[in-house]
Structure 1
Amino acid sequence: MTPVIWRKAGVHDADALALLGSATFLATFAFDHPGQPLVAHLRTEHSPEYYANALAQPGVDIVMGETPLGAPVGYAMITPPSHPDLQQDGDIELKRIYLLGPWQGGGNGRQLLEQAFAIAAERGAKRMLLAVYENNEKAVAFYERAGFTAIGKTVFMVGDVPFRDMVYARPLI
């Protein structure tokens, strides 16, 4: 398999992140998300403007994985926590973590997660939160193997369609 080179993304990576975010979200969720709301979600939540605005925020970091030729294959987005009923002081959130299918299953997901943990450590975070679609069994198993445990539920909107996500947490210290 082609090796992955990990680096922090910058605002100049917004176009690549938008394409990668749209491709991975569509590949992962097209099986049970209605088409129109899914496409509308991709247009807003995975647009170049979304990523440029996110990367301009001081509390947001994105780690991006590329092939040696510079093709984007995955990323992780680390943000301040967004689950007020479940969060504690010292929390950080793994908002998104996606890899293209051919780069899954060979340790790249774990490497990307380690990159996210390193950013959390740089920020002095004590616990990492993440939300995962309850029907995404592959992702749930990955997070549980990595030491995350379920602490609650939330609703994730795709357009005007609600989906139930599980919120997971993992101590970092």
Structure 2
Amino acid sequence: MEQIMIHKASLEDMATIQGIGRQTFFETFAQGNTGEDMNKYLEDHFSEAKITAELNHPESLFFIAREGTEVVGYLKLNTGQAQTELREKEGMEIERIYVKSAYHGKKVGQLLYDKALEIAKLQGKSYLWLGVWEENPRAIRFYEKNGFVVFDKHIFKVGNDEQTDLMMKKVLR
């Protein structure tokens, strides 16, 4: 395996983010959702217009993980009003860490998380937070291993299906 490299994404990476986003979301959640709900979610959240707006938002950052020329995962961070909830200036949201299933267990998620932690510390944030589907034990274990604790729950819609996400937080200082 070549070394995994992580770089900040720009608007020129819109199609790359769209493609890896659709692929990894589908790989991660398709078996727990109907085809109709998955298709609706993918259309709504990974459209060209939506990804372009997210890439242009001054309080959001994307990072792409590559092995050689292959895109293997990505990270989306939000601060301020870009956060999906909380929106406290001292916090940073990890909205997405997604990795191709073929790269699970190969430390790509850890590298992306480490990048999130680095950015949060550089920006002087007091905590990181995120939402993770309560039926995704692999992701929950990953975040617990990295020092996150559950502090609340919220509803996350996939298509028309309302699902429960655990909200997790890691205090940095």
TM, length-normalised to structure 1: 0.93
1:101 matches 2:101: yes
Residue number in structure 2 paired with 1:79: 78
* Runs of 5+ unmatched residues, structure 2: none
Q: In 2, distance between residues paired with 1:65 and 1:89? A: 27
Residue number in structure 1 paired with 2:152: 152
Residue number in structure 2 paired with 1:122: 122
- Consecutive aligned runs of 4 or more in structure 1 exceeding 3 Å deviation: none
User: What pairs up with 1:159-170 in 2 under 5 angstroms?
Assistant: 159-170=159-170
Superposition RMSD on alpha carbons, in Å? 1.3
Q: In 2, distance between residues paired with 1:31 and 1:6? A: 29
Residue number in structure 2 paired with 1:58: 58
CA contact (8 A) 2:65 2:108 kept: no
CA contact (8 A) 2:65 2:71 kept: yes
Percent of aligned positions that are identical: 26
The code of the aligned residue for 2:119 comes to: I
CA deviation vs aligned residue, 1:41-98 (integer Å, no higher than 9, x gap) = 10120223222111111100011111212x21101100123223xx655011000000
CA contact (8 A) 2:28 2:101 kept: no
CA contact (8 A) 1:3 1:67 kept: yes
Q: In 1, distance between residues paired with 2:161 and 2:110? A: 31
Residue number in structure 2 paired with 1:33: 33
SS at match of 2:153: strand
SS at match of 1:54: helix
Q: In 2, distance between residues paired with 1:7 and 1:127? A: 23
Q: In 1, distance between residues paired with 2:138 and 2:58? A: 32
Q: Aligned in 2, Cα 1:88/1:60: closer, same or farther, shift over 3 Å?
A: closer
The code of the aligned residue for 1:114 comes to: D
CA contact (8 A) 1:77 1:95 kept: yes
The code of the aligned residue for 1:82 comes to: T
Deviation at 1:144, TM superposition (A): 0.4
Q: In 1, distance between residues paired with 2:27 and 2:170? A: 27
* Runs of 5+ unmatched residues, structure 1: none
Q: In 1, distance between residues paired with 2:145 and 2:76? A: 20
Greater helix content: 2
Residue number in structure 1 paired with 2:23: 23
